[in-house]
Structure 1
Amino acid sequence: MTTTFKSVPLVAPGHTRPVTHLSFSPLQVDKSYLLISSCKDGNPMLRDWTGDWIGTFIGHKGAVWSSKISTDTSIAASGSADFTAKIWDSYTGHSLHSFPHNHIVRTVALSPTPSRLLTGGQEKKVRIFDLNRPDAPPDYLEDTNGLAHEGTIKSVIWVADNLGVTAGEDGNIKWWDMRSRTVVEKIIYPTPVTSMELSPEIGRLVVTSGHSAAFISAVPNVLPIHVVNLTYSPSSASIHPILQDRFVTGSLTDEWVRVHTMDGGEREILKGHHGPVHCIEFSPDGELYASGSEDGTIRLWQTTPGKTYGLWQGST
């Protein structure tokens, strides 16, 4: 007799307002990893791979739109509506430095080293801060008119020490040479880019725009680009980092998490959230994916329901 397991998520509470962004650390030597969450309550939170709370970074005075953890998990970065980006000691929770901006910071990224911070947001400017000289003025990535994009910058990603990628509401995705600070490649979408995340394990960018999810090499000028057209507008998407046979999405039009095959077929619709799903991300080992919602919760879903993994003990 075959047992069918129902996908039952673990609920990670703690936030008091909508969860806006989720990001996993790379897989560590002991096969563990961390999850950092951003929220409109202004308090980024750090959790271990089971979803258990480790700590909260206290110091922002407005909604936090983006947060990332460094490759070695030693520091974290966050961008906020209080017009600052902050660097945190992920072991103590202390703020190491605050970088002022002139408008809302929507997205942040740490260089692989990590020695530099990339930020973008409502100003349509991309700044580069040197973490070894935090009081020095930032450098800028500029394309035209002194701006990086013609619309709000929704995502910045540091692919390699000398390569960055930015995406904006102007529909542009731009690859930048971080040495010359010039655009080396560009893709233009007819509708605003709503999200862009890097799947570092496979070196692909996952982009949502309009009704599409696109899977693009993180390195410029490498084809093909795989585009999947959906019947709804995804707010965020993430690809399985090992199998590459499925992707998951959230949407602002309903409360569901969807699992799709790579041709767009619908494998599962997962219900559990009580508000639109703002963000979704696969863990680096592909065993689970996390979703963040308007309802203020993070839910952790098993890729293979019923498998004994972490706090899941084969529950049906």
Structure 2
Amino acid sequence: MNNNNNNNGNRVIPLTCSGHTRPVVDLQFSPITADGKYFLISACKDGNPMLRDGVTGDWIGTFGGHKGAVWSARLSNDSEKAVTGSADFSAKVWDTHNGQVLHTFLHGHIVRAADFNSDSTRIMTGGKENKLRIFDLYRPDAAPMELIGHEDMIQAVVWDEKHHAVLSAGDDATVRIWDLRTMRESGKIQCDAPVSTMTLSADGQYVTWAAGKTANFWSPERSVDNVRKIETKEITSSVSLHPNHKKFVAGSSEDLWVRIYDFDTGEVSEVYKGHHGPIHTVSYSPDGEIYATGSEDGTIRLWQTDATKPYGLWQRDA
């Protein structure tokens, strides 16, 4: 196992992205755009979600308007819009070109999770009210569709339109699958502990989530009984699967270390330290060349997957 920030004899030094003033709790890379770029969006307890260049980490803009901590931030597939969920009881949709608010959707309590569908015509939210809401952006004043079944706060939501479904997970230690055609629950996966984060892999083949001391991977093509669960020694706060499905990155709420796991064996293959606080969120870039980590220390760090080759700002040291 490689440790002490050493990768194949090359020291791994992350890029530090400053700007936030409180813990960073959610990160997401966009898909690669038509001109070959991608972006990184961050949610933070300072209430100011930020947009960055995905390769360099350079700040592009801050979305100003929330009056409470922002728990979730997601980009549309074309990166033209962003959606955020906040402790101010609202979800907001933003224009990423000018930072202006396009829509504000008020809720009855904290919004912990939000996401777009594939063509950015709808958003889904979940949070302290224990219910999912789906809003139509073409009819923003219309009442949202609601999906009710969770028994505690919803922490994460995922669209899976390939299978006509949405998924939600949270403090009731369940992942629930909802059929968009019937608007009813079609399946449920019971977890060992509350689910803190959940994402869909870039190719849509895996839903991944962190629950207690486990990293979980499930293919929507399989039954709900067929979940690959990898035990971790630490409480895992967030996991992200590499696009090649050979490894995944995990952060923990118990220490300062970033861990890379071999997906096939479930063993830790690399360990790195750079943050000064527990790690709340991790995400691989769409090309798999870097991954981002967000921490209690208020910083985002970008780590090169392969320290032996130049990439982005790392070219300066090549």
> Which TM-score band (shorter chain)?
over 0.9
Alignment of structure 1 residues 1-316 onto 2, 5 Å: 4-49=9-54, 50-142=56-148, 148-160=149-161, 162-219=164-221, 221=223, 224-242=226-244, 244-262=245-263, 263-313=265-315, 315=317
The letter for the 2-side match of 1:237 is V
- Measured against aligned partners, the alpha-carbon deviations of 1:46-67 in whole angstroms (never above 9, x if no partner) come to 0112211110000000000001
Shift of 1:126: 0.6
Residue 221 of structure 1 and its aligned partner are, at CA, apart by 2.6
Which AA in structure 2 matches 1:38? Answer: A
- Partner SS for 1:312: helix
How far apart are 1:96 and its partner, in Å? 0.6
* Cα pair distance change 1:104/1:3, threshold 3 Å: closer
CA distance in 2, matches of 1:224, 1:126: 25
Partner amino acid, structure 2, of 1:9: P
**C-alpha RMSD over aligned residues:** 1.7
Gap regions ≥5 residues in structure 2: 1-6
CA distance in 2, matches of 1:220, 1:26: 25
- Deviation (angstroms), 1:193: 1.1
Contact kept? 1:15, 1:296, Cα under 8 Å: yes
Please, which moves more after superposition, 18-27 or 258-267? 258-267
SS of 2:88 mapped into structure 1: coil
Contact 1:291 1:299 in 2 (8 A): yes
Contact 2:66 2:88 in 1 (8 A): yes
Deviations 1:57-100 (CA, angstroms, capped at 9, x unpaired): 00000000001000011110000000000000011100011100
Aligned to 1:279, the other structure's residue is in SS state strand
Q: How many Å apart are 1:4 and its aligned residue?
A: 2.0
Q: Which amino acid aligns with 2:181?
A: R
Counterpart residue identity of residue 275, structure 1:
G
Partner AA of 2:19 in structure 1: G
Q: State the AA in 2 paired with 1:307.
A: K
Which of 254-263 and 79-88 deviates more? 254-263
Q: d(CA) in 1 for partners of 2:8 and 2:280? A: 32
Mapped contact 2:21–2:46 kept (Cα < 8 A): yes
Q: Deviations over 1:234-257 (max 9, x none)?
A: 100111112x11111111101111
Note if contact 1:6-1:306 (Cα within 8 Å) is conserved in structure 2. Answer: no
**Partner Cα separation in structure 2 for residue 127 and residue 133 of structure 1:** 14
Moved more, 266-275 or 54-63: 266-275
Conserved 8 A contact 2:160-2:204? no
Cα distance 1:126–1:219, how it changes in 2: closer, same or farther (>3 A)?
farther
> Helix, strand or coil for the counterpart of 1:201?
coil
> d(CA) in 1 for partners of 2:221 and 2:189?
13
What is the CA-CA distance between 1:6 and the residue it aligns to? 1.0
Which digits, 9 at most, give the CA deviation of each residue in 1:158-181, with x for residues without a partner? 111731111121111111111321
CA–CA distance in 2 between the matches of 1:312 and 1:223?
Answer: 43
Superposition deviation, residue 222 in structure 1 = 7.2
Compare 155-164 and 69-78 and name the one that shifted more: 155-164
Contact conserved, 1:198 with 1:218, CA < 8 A, in 2? Answer: no
Quote how far apart the aligned CAs of 1:293 are.
Answer: 0.2
Contact 1:24 1:284 in 2 (8 A): yes
SS in structure 2 opposite 1:180? coil
Instruction: For 1:272 and 1:201, locate their aligned partners in 2 and report how far apart those are by CA, in whole Å.
Output: 29
Inter-CA distance 306–61: structure 2 relative to 1 (3 Å threshold): same
Moved more, 188-197 or 88-97: 188-197
Normalization by structure 1: what TM-score?
A: 0.94
Equivalenced residue count is: 309
The Cα offsets for residues 202-225 of structure 1, whole Å up to 9 and x where unpaired, read as 521111112110111145637742
Counterpart residue identity of residue 37, structure 2: S
CA distance in 2, matches of 1:156, 1:219: 18
8 Å Cα contact 1:88-1:97 kept in structure 2: yes
Counterpart for residue 4 of structure 2: none
